[in-house]
Amino acid sequence: MRSSVILPLFFITATNADFAFNSNTEFSYPLYFNFKIGNDNSDVKVQVDTNRPYTLVLHEECFHCPMYFKDNYRYSEKKTGGSFVENFTSPSDGIREGAFYSDKLKFSTLSLDVKLAVVSNGYPSIDYYPGVLGLKPSTDDEKSVVKRLMNELSEQQIVIQDGRHYVLKDFRRVRDDNLASISFGKYEGDACGNFTFTKTLDNSSWRIRADVTVDSKLRPNQTIAFNVGGETLFPKDLFRDRIDNKTFAKQSELPTISFKIDDQVYQITPEDYATFVDDLVKYKGDVRHIPDGSDADFVFGTDLLQHHCLALTANKDFTELRIGFAPNYGRKPLARDLGVLDKGATAYSLSVIMAGVFMALLR
């Protein structure tokens, strides 16, 4: 079930992190982030992608591009002051034609020069929102913003506190609000517990390696990535054998999947991703399979991250990357959240606290 109502909330604070973004959506619309581009004062609503090395938006004249909501952002180099750099295509990502533009991304009071990917023809694999903030490191620092963004923070860390994966359960009433957040810099909030960190696979991506257990069957030495705000992606053989075109009388017939780091087990169960189909009076798995050419064996989405916050950290030279996990207690509703939900309207709220201190952190 999808809702066409998006209820965004945005506030900056120097007390919880160098800057933080709180998102509040209905149903299964995922965590999102807002920034501005160049001279255009419009907010750009984008999904957060730890596996994409560049940031992507849709051009105002994009052909065959998905049509989201009528008020969604479309890039115009005339409005932003951006300049063409080079053409690019990515057929595996559904991008037939596109170009990189030299422009500026504006996060709160921070502005970064960037080569921005702009799609002019195609149906890129982005969900819900008309763009993606790419947080994967890259050797091309002009296209990848994560290293330069982290270097501007008082602590080189990004903490993602995901919302819930909305699934139906045999006609049970489920809350339809989805409170999530993303924090940049030192984290002192209360939505996440204490983090336990592990090394990344190669110090050049936000992937890890661990043994994965599917029910009682072990799949050793698997490469694991994360899909913030999205579905979990199964290996194609597992998806075909256990999920694809199948329905189940009981959700317990679907697999439980877990991986272990040190002594800590992280898992998703059918309760997390099995959804009830009313007209069939049966369950199905609300997951997808990994696309061909992926550099991961499993990609865990909101099914897992609704239980565990995710921290991305790096040293100053970006030669040592680590991923942290902490209990996700859920973001407590703010007065702004409750007010927006009660009114059923779209509202933005911006408050800057201790502006002088905040600016000092970015120097």
Range of the domain at 191: 159-333
Is residue 66 in some structural domain?
yes
pLDDT (average), residues 278-306: 93
| 249 and 283 housed in the same domain | yes
Q: 4 lies in a domain?
A: no
Same structural domain for residues 305 and 200?
A: yes
- pLDDT (tens digit per residue) in 194-211: 999 999 999 999 999 999
Query: How many domains are contained in the chain?
Result: 2
Q: What is the pTM of this model?
A: 0.85
Q: Looking at the structure, do residues 183 and 89 belong to the same domain, yes or no?
A: no
Alpha-carbon 318 to chain mean position? 21
Domain end point (choices 117, 152, 187)? 152
State percent of the chain over pLDDT 70: 82
Residues 199 and 136 in one domain: no
% residues pLDDT > 90 (the chain): 61
Residue where a domain terminates, one of 105, 133, 152: 152
State the average pLDDT over residues 315-321: 94
pLDDT digits (tens, 9 = 90+) for 125-148: 776 788 899 999 998 889 999 999
Q: What is the pLDDT of residue 193?
A: 97
Question: Could you tell me if 166 and 133 lie in one domain?
Answer: no
Give me the pLDDT at residue 361, please: 31
Higher-pLDDT residue of 80 and 16 is 80
Whether residues 42 and 146 share a domain: the answer is yes
pLDDT for 342: 28
Q: Is the pLDDT assigned to residue 341 strictly greater than 90?
A: no
Q: In the predicted model, what is the mean pLDDT of the chain?
A: 83
For residue 19 the two structure tokens come to: 């800057």
Do 183 and 250 share a structural domain? yes
Determine, yes or no, domain membership for 12: no
Listed residues 152, 178, 201: the one ending a domain: 152
Q: How distant, in Å, are the alpha carbons of 1, 11, 57, 78, 183 from that of 37?
A: 32, 18, 10, 12, 20
In 3D space, the residue among 183, 161, 137, 51 whose CA is nearest the CA of residue 320 turns out to be 137
The answer to whether residues 137 and 266 belong to one domain is: no
Residue 352 belongs to some domain of the structure: no
On the question of pLDDT at 212 being above 70, the answer is yes
195: in domain: yes
Together in a domain, 88 and 182: no
Same domain, 167 and 31: no
Q: Do 98 and 190 lie in a common domain?
A: no
Pairing of strands 56-63, 110-122: parallel
Q: Based on the domain organization, do 129 and 45 belong to the same domain?
A: yes
Looking at the domain assignment, is residue 188 inside a domain?
yes
Q: Is 292 exposed, middle or buried (0-12, 13-18, 19+ CB in 10 A)?
A: exposed
- In tens, the pLDDT along 14-71 reads 333 488 888 777 666 778 889 999 999 999 989 999 999 999 999 998 888 776 654 5
Between 119 and 92, whose confidence is greater?
Answer: 119
Residue range 219-234, pLDDT digits in tens:
999 999 999 988 999 9
- Helix, coil or strand: residue 114: strand
Is residue 5, in this structure, part of any structural domain at all?
Answer: no
- Residue 289 sits in a domain whose CATH number is 2.40.70.10
Q: Is residue 222 part of a domain?
A: yes
C-alpha of 86 from chain center: 27
Kindly report which listed range (15-19, 91-95, 102-106, 293-297) carries the lowest average pLDDT score. 15-19
Read off the pLDDT of each residue in 83-97 and give the average, rounded to a whole number: 89
